[in-house]
Amino acid sequence: MQLYIGNKNYSSWSLRPWLLMTQAGIAFEEVPLRMNFEPGSPFKTALAAVSPTAKVPLLVDDGFAVWDTLAIAEYLADKFPDKRLWPADAKARARARSLCAEMHSGFQALRKGCPMNIEAELPEVGARLLRDEPSLAQDLARINSMWQQQLDQSGGPFLFGAFGIADAYFAPVVTRLRTYALPVPAAVAAYMARIEATPAMRQWVAAALDEHDFLPFDEPYRSQA
C-alpha cells in the first residue's frame, strides 16, 4: 500500500492515517508531496493521476484508491481486523465513530483559527483567539469535555482503552492545543502527553521539525524570516 501525504508540519489530515498505520504496525510506502494547491502544481498533478479529488491523504492499495481520512480508516479496519482499530464492543464502536464523525465535520473555529503547525509556538495567538472568538472557546470546551468523559468511561490510557482510530483522529488537535497553548484540565493534558509519547507520534513530530519548509498559505500568524 502507498499513502500519499502532505507536509508533516502542516497537514493535519495526512497525520491521521499515517499515525494510525504506523502505530498499528501496518506496512505502507510513504509518498510525501510538498503542498501546493495551485492548478497544475506537482502536488496536484501527482494526486490527480491516482485520485479524482487530488487531495491528501490518499491510500492506494494495489492500484485501488481510497480518499478521505474516514474512508481510509474504515478500509484499514476491514482489511486488518486483527489490529482492532475500532473498539470490539458495538456500543463503544458506535461512540468512537460518532466522535470521529464529529471531528470530521465540526470544530470549524478550531480548524480556522488554529491551523496545525507543529514547529510553531504561538501562545499569544491562542490567548487572543480565546478572548475574541467565542466559537473557539466553545470548540475547546467540547474537546475537553469529550476527552475527559471518554477517558473516564474507558479507564484510558487512550480514548477507548487501546490506541485506535479515534486517537489518531484527534492527534492533530493535540498538536493544535500545544502550539497555541490552549488551556486543558489535568486529565486532558495527561492524555495529550500519552499521544505525544507514542513512537509513531514522536516519529512524525521529528520529521515535521526537520522539514524547514515555510508555506505562507499555512502561516496566518508568522512571516518568513
- The share of the chain scoring above pLDDT 90, in percent, equals 99
Q: Domain 90-208, CATH 1.20.1050.10 — does that match? A: yes
For residue 225, the model assigns a pLDDT of 64
Is-same-fold flag (2-83; 90-208)? no
pLDDT in tens, 114-161: 999 999 999 999 999 999 999 999 999 999 999 999 999 999 999 999
Class of domain 2-83: alpha beta
Residues 6+ apart with CB under 8 A from 64: none
SS3 7: coil
Parse the chain into domains and list their residue ranges.
Answer: 2-83, 90-208
Work out the number of other CB atoms within 10 angstroms of the CB of residue 178.
Answer: 20
For residue 161, the model assigns a pLDDT of 98
pLDDT in tens, 159-178: 999 999 999 999 999 999 99
Q: What is the mean pLDDT of the chain?
A: 97
Residues in the chain: 225
Confidence of residue 224 (pLDDT cuts 50, 70, 90): confident
Question: Hey, what's the torsion of the CAs at 201, 204, 207, 209, to 10 degrees?
Answer: -60
Omega before residue 57 within 30° of 0, cis: yes
Backbone φ and ψ of 137, nearest 5°: -60, -35
For residue 144, the model assigns a pLDDT of 98
Confidence of residue 81 (pLDDT cuts 50, 70, 90): very high
Confidence of residue 11 (pLDDT cuts 50, 70, 90): very high
